[in-house]
Amino acid sequence: MNDHIPGIQVSRAFHDNYIAPRLASFMPALPYASALVGPGSEVLGFDTSMSRDHDWGPRVLIFIRESDVLQQEAVLAALHKDAPAAFHGFPVHIEQTVVTTVPAYYSGRLGVCPSKVLEGLELLDWLTIPSQTLAELTGGAVFRDDIGELTAARGRLGYYPQDVWLFLMASVWNRIGQEEHLMPRAGFMEDELGAALIASRLIMDVMSLCFLIERRYAPYPKWFGTAFRQLACASELMPQLLAAQQAAAWREREQALAAAYRLVARLHNGLQLTEPLEVEPRLFFDRPFTVIGGGRFAEALISRVGEPALRKLSAFRFGGMDQISDNTDFRLLHQRFPRTPDGKSPLRVFFDHLMQGIGC
């Protein structure tokens, strides 16, 4: 991996030395933006030499104005004409360079109507979008932006609005509160495999909470642990989480998880979003099981949500897409089914039905 050149570096050079000069020569009056965003390990900076075996190499996304969309084919033709077979030693596949518009590309990835890309998402829209997608669309690099739409769209997606942020953190704390006592209960019944499985779920919840606390979009499973190591809290939390994950017996897991709970509770208090809460783990009723009481933190956060609709939706306590499912096909539901006539994705329709059911 020592000889690996980051994909963003390759694509930037490809833009600067091929895309930009070619468009300046063939279409000098055309304003456009160019970037490397969307799917691809190089967008998040996690690519290695192994990444080169597919969908990696010199490529750029070119964004033109809606009023210039009829020139899309001309742009592609200019790029294809006498295109080099290789760039800096890497094969060139011009078809990997996409010409589109900001509303078209971002709406397709987000599962919202194009107007929302330019005007901003509704609060419920945020709950339907995997954090991986948000990371892809706000990560990567912008090489040029004559129009300003791309920079503005990325800025609007920079991070969750305050109330959505509070709501999502509350939902993760609630997940912890629902399962923290189940791990020792399974272990107490001499079900070490079951206890280990529940512990893994709790570890993932703690890690997810840390991404939210540090206001970072969490990537999907392949890069979840790698990205976690980049968080400010990782150096302190990693030993406890690894101990819980690798423990051979449930009492060891319980002690390691209790230490992790204490640390993440302190991080919560450090945000000063709620009144300070007790960070010391306690017994679960009269049972000899140590828990943090995740529901306390969930309640405190929900009490600070100002948006009435989200306050009511908190009755369900299952959060957004990332808390509901980690199933890949389900996360891509909006790409498999057409939006409704009013531009809503299937998952947004689901949330709308919930709101109607609770009188919103």
Nearest Cα to Cα of residue 99 among 60, 147, 43, 138: 60
Instruction: Return the C-alpha torsion angle 112, 118, 120, 126, nearest 10.
Output: 30
Which among 214, 246, 206 is positioned nearest to 230, based on CA atoms?
Answer: 214
Select from 9, 17, 54 the least CA-distant residue to 36. 9
One-letter amino acid identity for 1?
Answer: M
pLDDT for res 52: 82
In this structure, what token pair is assigned to residue 179? Answer: 């399962």
If you count DSSP H runs as helices and E runs as strands, how many of each does the chain have, helices first? 20, 8
Query: For residues 172 and 302, is the Cβ–Cβ distance under 8 A?
Result: no
pLDDT lower than 50: segments of the chain: 1-2
Q: What local confidence, expressed as pLDDT, does residue 325 receive? A: 87
Q: What pLDDT, on a 0 to 100 scale, did the predictor assign at position 2? A: 47
The model's pLDDT over 249-303, given as tens digits with 9 standing for 90+, comes to 999 999 999 999 999 999 999 999 999 999 999 999 999 999 999 999 999 999 9
Q: What is the C-alpha separation between 82 and 107, in angstroms, rounded?
A: 33
132-167 burial, b at 16+ Cβ within 10 Å, e below that, comes to bbbbbbbbbbebbbebebbeebbeebeebeebbbbb
Structure tokens at 85: 């077979």
What's the gap between Cα 83 and its chain centre? 35
Structure tokens at 296: 């306390």
> Residues 297, 281: contact at Cβ < 8 Å?
no
In what helix (H) or strand (E) does residue 23 lie, and over which residues does it extend? helix 20-26
pLDDT at site 359: 63
Contacts for 196 with CB less than 8 Å, ≥ 6 apart: 247, 253
Residue matched to tokens 């808390």: 323
Question: What pLDDT, on a 0 to 100 scale, did the predictor assign at position 315?
Answer: 84
What's the angle, vertex CA 211, arms to CA 124 and CA 350, rounded to 5? 20
Distance CA 358, CA 160 (A): 24
Q: How far apart are CA 320 and CA 168, in angstroms?
A: 7
